[in-house]
């Protein structure tokens, strides 16, 4: 999986690369429309982040060409032109999402996750997480030959981690994705259930990233 950033302003492109990589996403960067059109058909590209305000080739033309050559990869369009007419045209030409500039990186990150999630089937069956076998259907895990049961809340939280391998997820993100909560009811719910998973699966399976959240270690299908 790789994110393709199409941006001709180096400062912005490097900022996006650094921030996205810090959250566990592999990122490629191209400056121009022609370079982009050569890359979007690569099956390893999972999401395109396209600046519609390119200098050498209009971003809307790039977007149109991406769809005309048959690429189905989701496209998140960025533009300072945030008017309704421009947004509608971008979406009509094939953008899956649209974010006006300036924007908060946290919102961009949320939209990246949402667009990737929309194209990713939910995991099922048995997966291997850091040497531990996890059966998502049976709500069970096998640790050193010992089978342990997982509660509905524990499996929901673990499922979110498995769906975002290597990525740092904040407590609010985990609350929302695992249990549909928009706020913590005052019980440190995420911390409590991370503690439960660590006790059942091993202390090292979920890493605490200071001031950021949690990250699951090594997931294999």
- Could you read off the pLDDT of 113-151 as tens digits, one per residue? 888 876 655 555 677 776 778 887 788 888 888 899 988
Q: In the prediction, which pLDDT does 221 show? A: 40
Q: Do 181 and 210 fall into the same domain?
A: yes
Q: Do 70 and 131 fall into the same domain?
A: no
Q: Do 132 and 114 fall into the same domain?
A: no
Domain C-terminal end among 52, 87, 118: 118
Domain C-terminal end among 70, 91, 118: 118
Mean pLDDT (whole number) for 185-201? 86
User: Given pLDDT bands bounded at 50, 70 and 90, which one contains residue 209?
Assistant: very high
What total of structural domains would you count in the chain?
A: 2
How far apart CA 171 and CA 31 sit, in angstroms, is 35
Closest of 219, 218, 217, 191 to residue 206, by C-alpha: 217
Q: In the prediction, which pLDDT does 1 show? A: 62
How far apart CA 212 and CA 23 sit, in angstroms, is 10
Q: Do 87 and 136 fall into the same domain?
A: no
Q: Do 102 and 144 fall into the same domain?
A: no
Closest of 27, 53, 176, 171 to residue 112, by C-alpha: 27
How far apart CA 93 and CA 45 sit, in angstroms, is 20
User: Given pLDDT bands bounded at 50, 70 and 90, which one contains residue 186?
Assistant: low
User: Given pLDDT bands bounded at 50, 70 and 90, which one contains residue 8?
Assistant: confident
Q: Do 6 and 111 fall into the same domain?
A: yes
Q: Supply the CATH number for residue 171's domain.
A: 1.10.10.10
Q: In the prediction, which pLDDT does 79 show? A: 87
Greater confidence (93 vs 123) lies with 93
Q: Do 142 and 189 fall into the same domain?
A: yes
Instruction: Give residue 38's domain range.
Output: 2-118
Mean pLDDT of the chain: 83
Q: Do 112 and 134 fall into the same domain?
A: no
Q: Do 41 and 101 fall into the same domain?
A: yes
The answer to whether the CB of 206 falls within 8 A of the CB of 194 is: yes
Domain C-terminal end among 118, 135, 162: 118
Q: Supply the CATH number for residue 98's domain.
A: 3.40.50.2300
Greater confidence (182 vs 217) lies with 217
Percentage of residues of the chain with pLDDT beyond 90: 19
Q: In the prediction, which pLDDT does 130 show? A: 67
Closest of 93, 75, 13, 89 to residue 39, by C-alpha: 75
Q: Do 95 and 136 fall into the same domain?
A: no
Q: In the prediction, which pLDDT does 82 show? A: 63
Q: In the prediction, which pLDDT does 123 show? A: 54
Q: Is the pLDDT of residue 58 over 90?
A: no
Q: Is the pLDDT of residue 220 over 50?
A: no
Task: Output DSSP code: residue 118.
Answer: H
User: Given pLDDT bands bounded at 50, 70 and 90, which one contains residue 36?
Assistant: confident
Question: What is the DSSP track for 119-162?
Answer: TSPPP-SEEEETTEEEETTTTEEEETTEEEE--HHHHHHHHHHH
Q: Is the pLDDT of residue 172 over 60?
A: yes
């Amino acid at each position: 999986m790789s994110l393709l950033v199409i941006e001709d302003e180096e400062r912005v492109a490097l900022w996006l690369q650094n921030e996205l990589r810090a959250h566990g996403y592999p990122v490629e960067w191209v400056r121009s429309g022609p370079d982009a059109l050569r890359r979007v058909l690569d099956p390893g590209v999972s999401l395109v982040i396209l600046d519609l305000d390119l200098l050498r080739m209009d971003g809307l033309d790039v977007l149109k060409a991406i769809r005309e050559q048959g690429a189905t990869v989701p496209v998140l369009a960025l533009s300072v032109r945030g008017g309704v007419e421009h947004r509608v045209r971008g979406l009509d030409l094939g953008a899956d999402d649209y974010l006006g500039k300036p924007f908060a990186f946290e919102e961009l990150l949320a939209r990246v996750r949402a667009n990737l999630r929309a194209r990713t089937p939910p995991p099922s069956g048995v997966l291997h997480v850091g040497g531990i076998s996890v059966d998502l259907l049976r709500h069970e895990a096998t640790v050193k030959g010992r089978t342990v049961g997982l509660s509905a809340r524990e499996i929901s939280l673990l499922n979110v981690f498995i769906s975002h391998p290597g990525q740092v997820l904040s407590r609010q993100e985990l609350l929302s994705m695992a249990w549909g909560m928009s706020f913590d009811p005052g019980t440190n719910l995420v911390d409590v259930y991370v503690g439960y998973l660590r006790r059942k699966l091993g202390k090292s399976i979920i890493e605490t990233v200071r001031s950021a959240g949690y990250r699951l270690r090594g997931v294999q299908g």
